[in-house]
Structure 1
């Protein structure tokens, strides 16, 4: 059944985002061993609960997402866009959100599950925000950091599409940032949830584009 989004049709058209003019940051949300490994984190918890097959669709998407994310990272770095990472990791001050206390879905600090995958890891000088919240803006200094950098546009990639990506996108738009969700550099917990987020998110200050489209935007080949 085709997804209907009637409220989106009531809004004015989403403006063009001149992300090639600088002031653009790629925000990579929660892509580390706890979330994307087939052995640790989510996978470990599913295995302990006897529901490993429930994550099959998620891991299929992760396998497709990672090469796109690597290409996106390389492309943004070459073109001078900023790069910031987040992790679902207990912050240094030990503060845990009430939500995380209930779910328990975060990695211990300095654990294997807190580590990034080498192929999509931060480089020297790229900021990493540790959080136990869903949105990257809650409980962190992300907004202040972005404003200090003069950021106007955010490119969002990561996991899960129907969690950190969606919540961060909506918070960013409410804060006045232009947002581009990079659809094929995200993974949802199911294919259906990924499709739902991408179909429903694109309005106001939020757009949805593929990795190829974003790189073309950075090269001024499209808006």
Structure 2
């Protein structure tokens, strides 16, 4: 099920298939944007973890650069950190993600950007958290969804953001999951009814053009 799929060729193919220029033009005027950095924890990104994603090293370096530029441009970055114990997530995945497990800390490379961290216990970053209140307080119109995993927490959060009235940007190369099939399924669905799917570099160009 797991594979190292996150290549330049894959990203170019996904952008070609699912990017909708007309939808991007509709989103661009809504310039009050924030980045959501979903569950960038060592649990998914370190080889010693059972949940390690094979494409993690390539993915991490690109996302660090994106956050560095977004921070320079003054764009808020809100991180989430997932943990669960003895609930439906435990039953579904066959184990807990304890809050005090070192593997459930944010990956060291991302900590310099993690001034705001919201803890969550399910796929949806809005459920049972104050994420929406924080976004409204900042006057955010558009959320840029990045992080782990594409077809679970990232997709669920993107859908919920749309339902709550936010424009959603879901960069083709901004999230990572277990394999290309899960990744593409999310892009196929979200690009049809929920989000615009440019490249990270295109998002930075937009953020810096105002």
With the shorter chain as reference, the TM-score category is: 0.7 to 0.9
Q: Tell me, in whole angstroms, the C-alpha distance in 1 between the residues paired with 2:207 and 2:138.
A: 18
Asked whether 1:75 is paired with 2:69, we answer yes
Pairs within 5 Å for 1:162-201: 162-201=151-190
Asked whether 1:211 is paired with 2:206, we answer no
Structure 2 residue aligned with 1:112, among 97, 102, 113? 102
Pairs within 5 Å for 1:30-179: 30-40=39-49, 42-43=51-52, 58-60=53-55, 62-90=56-84, 98-102=87-91, 103=93, 107-123=97-113, 126-179=115-168
User: Deviation of residue 161 (structure 1)?
Assistant: 0.4
Q: Tell me, in whole angstroms, the C-alpha distance in 2 between the residues paired with 1:164 and 1:78.
A: 26
Q: What is the RMSD computed on CA atoms of the aligned residues?
A: 2.6
User: Deviation of residue 142 (structure 1)?
Assistant: 0.8
Q: Considering only CA atoms, is the larger Rg found in Structure 1 or Structure 2?
A: 1
SS in 1 for 2:172: strand
Please tell me whether the aligned partners of residues 20 and 217 of structure 1 are also in contact (alpha carbons under 8 angstroms).
Answer: no
User: Deviation of residue 88 (structure 1)?
Assistant: 1.3
User: Deviation of residue 79 (structure 1)?
Assistant: 0.6
State the TM-score, normalized to the length of structure 2.
0.80
Q: Tell me, in whole angstroms, the C-alpha distance in 1 between the residues paired with 2:143 and 2:96.
A: 24
SS in 2 for 1:206: coil
Q: Tell me, in whole angstroms, the C-alpha distance in 2 between the residues paired with 1:34 and 1:106.
A: 12
Q: Which runs of no fewer than 5 residues in structure 1 stay unpaired?
A: 44-57, 91-95
Please tell me whether the aligned partners of residues 64 and 184 of structure 1 are also in contact (alpha carbons under 8 angstroms).
Answer: no
The equivalent residue for 1:17 is 27
Q: How many residues in Structure 1 have an aligned counterpart in Structure 2?
A: 190
Q: Tell me, in whole angstroms, the C-alpha distance in 1 between the residues paired with 2:86 and 2:143.
A: 24
The equivalent residue for 1:27 is 36
Q: Which runs of no fewer than 5 residues in structure 2 stay unpaired?
A: 1-13
Please tell me whether the aligned partners of residues 158 and 194 of structure 2 are also in contact (alpha carbons under 8 angstroms).
Answer: no
Structure 1 residues 149 and 78, CA, compared in 2 at 3 Å: closer, same or farther?
Answer: same
State the TM-score, normalized to the length of structure 1.
0.76
Q: Which runs of 4+ in 1 moved over 6 A?
A: none
